[in-house]
Structure 1
Amino acid sequence: MRKNKSESEGEAFMSKKEIGRRAFMKSSLAGVGSFFFLPPNGGELGLRAQTEKPDGKKIVRRVLGKTGIKLPPINMGVMNSDNPNLVRAALSGGMVMLDTAQTYQRGTNEAMIGEVLKGRPRDSFVLATKSRLPHDQKTGIYLSEATEEAYAKKIDTSLKNLGLDYVDIYYHHNVWAKESALYEPILNALMKAKKAGKTRFIGITTHRNEPEIIHAAAESKVYDVVLTTYNFKQKHYPEVRSAMTKAADAGLGIVVMKALGGRQLQEGSREPIDPKAALKWALQDPNTHTIIAGFTTFDQMNLDLSVMEDPVLTKPEKAHLQRGALMAGLYCQGCGQCLSQCSQALPIPDLMRAYMYVYGYRNIVAAQDLVTSLELPLKVCEGCDSCPVSCAIGFRVRDRIRKVVRLREVPLEFIA
């Protein structure tokens, strides 16, 4: 039987992933060596400029690659927040960039931010948003309905929601297959939007298979910015760091997300990850041009602002991170080893991310939205006498899936 193009691409992608998994497993054995901490760059950690806050305190800024945008080291990821006053406080406190997406807060986040930005000088903030099109949940490869016209409509919808004539960065969102990173219909839509003045710059975001996607972004000559996961819990952080360095050398701006690595050192532990230490770890890399932090309270915001003023890791913070890096925690590595083992072909990395949203970030809305978007079978993890999936870092995959898929049964109005 002749295979269609999508099936052939999917098999080729999975073959490449097998090679990537072996590399991942090899790197995970390296442990926490001297490469875990980078030496400060002349005591300035690669800082490019300084500005003063209203209270006279200094805020350092870094340049977002060839875009030339100068940003403080931490900015606001608005995914988890529906409080416009918190967004206003972040901007007043010295943050400049707001990161959102068309689907955040069940499609209301862009509009909320648009209300906050009304009346503000357009050069006083940087706005980034994102979207993606239908794709195969297992391979990440786009489906036939993922057309240039469909993506162009996504861009226009974001502008309408935000009430803006243009955004500063429009991201091609949540990509983990190289083929999708270079998918011409979406690239064409983004390039036309940039030419039309609807976005100043083009970006791509990735939660897993980050090194390959970052390299693809640099090679494409289309993308200006990469938004990637990068944290001390990643077993493959050396590969991510190397890819970030090459991309930055090529002129791309590097924005980091998921810097806290799941918030909890270990599942069931009462000891949280020290957020200041985790943020500082990512900022020790001069190629981390900025971090988007998903705070939801004023206390969390103030903590992030304090890191902006003093990003140097202390000895106790280093010890905390070294110990935490050896624990499985809640952060899924996204290695993909589990995908070929599951008899139901479940999108396990996405389900593990949803689990982290619930038990790490306490964001039930985001977790439910993710779970319901995955087109899971009616009965999940019920046909196997024992789970054949063996997680590379020891997650009890079946238990986590069973817990998180229960969110499908909870009415939306009970959570929203």
Structure 2
Amino acid sequence: MQTKPRRDFLKKSLVALSGAAVLPGTLNQAFAHSRGRKVGDDLVYRILGKTGLNIPVISMGTGAASPALIKAAYDKGINLFFTATYYGEGNNEKMLGDSVKDLPRESLIIGTAAIPKGVDHRGGLFTEDSTYDGLMEAADESLKRFGMDYVDFMLLPYAGKRESVFFEPLLRAMEDIKKKGKARFIGIASHSFQAEAVKAAVDTGIYDCALVGYNFRMENITELDEAFDYAGKAGLGILNMKSQVGGFWDKERTQPINPAAALKWVLKNKNIAAAVTAISNFDELEMDLSIMKEGLEMTEDETNDLKLASAGRPGLYCLQCRQCEGQCAQDLDIPTLMQSYMYAYGYRNLEQARHTLDNARLPEQACDQCELCTVRCSAGFNVAYKIRDIARLKDVPMDFLRT
């Protein structure tokens, strides 16, 4: 196992940050070399806020990746790899750690999200079961799986409403994770109430970045753009997820969303340092690399494709607008259930779909007792059909779902 003394990297972090305040242009090249690698001619880089990190604008989420794919991405110049404990119940962290253990640690940027207990997914809040000790233990277990003394990024997942970001036990734990050298930088990850969460992360004064769902299908784009501007002025780096909105328009996966256009749309926002996209095969890797090589400007055809393809199509991606809240006679957590459906049919990630389904706390025989569904989805989803469909996953043993 390769390790690096924590005092060394903390010292280098302070040097990098002090330089970031006065020499952003020089830092752009110098920091990349300080990480042990040359900046690739074919890759496009942006600085991630006050971290000073110079990262490829398309970086790798490893939730569905293999060791060979990770090494191929590294050889092509991608050095930022993100995972989370909930992928494979920690096995993905172990896989990523094993995949890069023979590479120079200083050339890698590794990020993960340690999972606290007691998450109120529906309310976007944490509870009394979300404790300081619990999160510190989760962070330590994560590092053990990686086989590392530290990660570059440790994120607090499920950040939602402002109260969740300021939740004192977890706020204190995240601060100590950085102070104790378990992570060089800390941040939040947000799937819901994102704009509120990003602004709150800035206001805490302790966070370095936020990983946020953002794509061309969202209805609150103006609100998110304003939050990203607020973050940018404060130096909070923004990373993107969910750029591909499920990957397909239909559950049969016969109508793919234009992946290049979707990525370019996200990266039009200069406040977004990188899109962390799930790369699951070599074709996807080559496509992402080609986008950076050929340029990030959207063509007229790509712009029109996203507009025309969206017209009248519900797709698989839940907009998380929460207009359905209060409409359901059984008071079901519809946004979370629709997320589960997307993971199952869009990404073919049945394990993640099942975890998300469990978070929704779906009762037995959901939707079977209603003669007529009272929910009217703003995206046009047939909500009752999708709930009945995805509910079948509850009866499948988890062992059968793991890849």
> Which range, TM-score by smaller chain?
0.7 to 0.9
Q: Distance in 2 between matches of 1:289 and 1:319?
A: 25
Q: Provide Cα deviations, 1:296-346, integer angstroms capped at 9, x if missing partner.
A: 111111111111222221111111112234332111111112222223222
In the other structure, the counterpart of 2:60 is: 76
Give the letter aligned to residue 129 of structure 1: T
Residue 44 of structure 2 aligns to a residue in which SS? strand
Q: Provide Cα deviations, 1:383-413, integer angstroms capped at 9, x if missing partner.
A: 2221121112211111111111111112233
Residue 238 of structure 1 aligns to a residue in which SS? helix
Give the letter aligned to residue 320 of structure 1: D
Residue 203 of structure 2 aligns to a residue in which SS? helix
In the other structure, the counterpart of 1:43 is: none
Assess if the C-alpha contact under 8 Å between 1:49 and 1:61 holds in 2. no
Task: Give, in angstroms, the shift of residue 160 of structure 1.
Answer: 0.8
Q: Distance in 1 between matches of 2:399 and 2:105?
A: 36
Q: Distance in 1 between matches of 2:400 and 2:370?
A: 31
Residue 298 of structure 2 aligns to a residue in which SS? coil
In the other structure, the counterpart of 1:208 is: 192
1:289 aligned onto 2:273: yes
Higher relative contact order (CA 8 A, sep 6+): 1
Q: Distance in 2 between matches of 1:344 and 1:262?
A: 27
1:301 aligned onto 2:296: no
- RMSD across aligned positions (CA): 2.1
In the other structure, the counterpart of 1:314 is: 299
Give the letter aligned to residue 127 of structure 1: I
Q: Provide Cα deviations, 1:196-241, integer angstroms capped at 9, x if missing partner.
A: 1111111101112211111111111121101001111112112112
In the other structure, the counterpart of 2:309 is: 324
Residue 58 of structure 1 aligns to a residue in which SS? coil
Assess if the C-alpha contact under 8 Å between 2:340 and 2:354 holds in 1. yes
Assess if the C-alpha contact under 8 Å between 2:318 and 2:338 holds in 1. yes
Task: Give, in angstroms, the shift of residue 49 of structure 1.
Answer: 5.8
Residue 108 of structure 1 aligns to a residue in which SS? helix
Assess if the C-alpha contact under 8 Å between 1:80 and 1:105 holds in 2. no
Q: Distance in 1 between matches of 2:38 and 2:80?
A: 18
In the other structure, the counterpart of 1:109 is: 92
In the other structure, the counterpart of 1:345 is: 331
In the other structure, the counterpart of 1:118 is: 101
For 1:161-176, what aligned pairs fall within 5 Å after superposition? 161-176=145-160
Q: Distance in 2 between matches of 1:355 and 1:238?
A: 27
In the other structure, the counterpart of 2:8 is: none
Assess if the C-alpha contact under 8 Å between 2:116 and 2:134 holds in 1. no
1:263 aligned onto 2:235: no
Assess if the C-alpha contact under 8 Å between 1:182 and 1:216 holds in 2. yes
For 1:140-151, what aligned pairs fall within 5 Å after superposition? 140-151=124-135
Give the letter aligned to residue 304 of structure 2: A
Residue 360 of structure 2 aligns to a residue in which SS? coil
Give the letter aligned to residue 102 of structure 1: T
For structure 1, the 5+ residue unaligned runs are 1-47
For 1:10-409, what aligned pairs fall within 5 Å after superposition? 57-81=41-65, 83-130=66-113, 131-265=115-249, 270-309=254-293, 310-326=295-311, 327-409=313-395
Q: Distance in 1 between matches of 2:121 and 2:54?
A: 36
The alpha-carbon distance between structure 1 residues 332 and 315, as it changes in their structure 2 partners (threshold 3 A), is same
Q: Distance in 2 between matches of 1:413 and 1:160?
A: 23
Q: Distance in 2 between matches of 1:347 and 1:91?
A: 39
Assess if the C-alpha contact under 8 Å between 2:160 and 2:194 holds in 1. yes
Assess if the C-alpha contact under 8 Å between 2:316 and 2:342 holds in 1. yes
Identity of aligned residues (%): 38
Residue 125 of structure 2 aligns to a residue in which SS? coil
Task: Compute the TM-score of the two structures, normalised by the length of structure 2.
Answer: 0.87
Residue 202 of structure 1 aligns to a residue in which SS? strand
Residue 289 of structure 1 aligns to a residue in which SS? strand
Assess if the C-alpha contact under 8 Å between 2:90 and 2:142 holds in 1. no
Task: Give, in angstroms, the shift of residue 75 of structure 1.
Answer: 0.7
Q: Distance in 2 between matches of 1:377 and 1:328?
A: 26
Task: Compute the TM-score of the two structures, normalised by the length of structure 1.
Answer: 0.84
Task: Give, in angstroms, the shift of residue 57 of structure 1.
Answer: 4.1
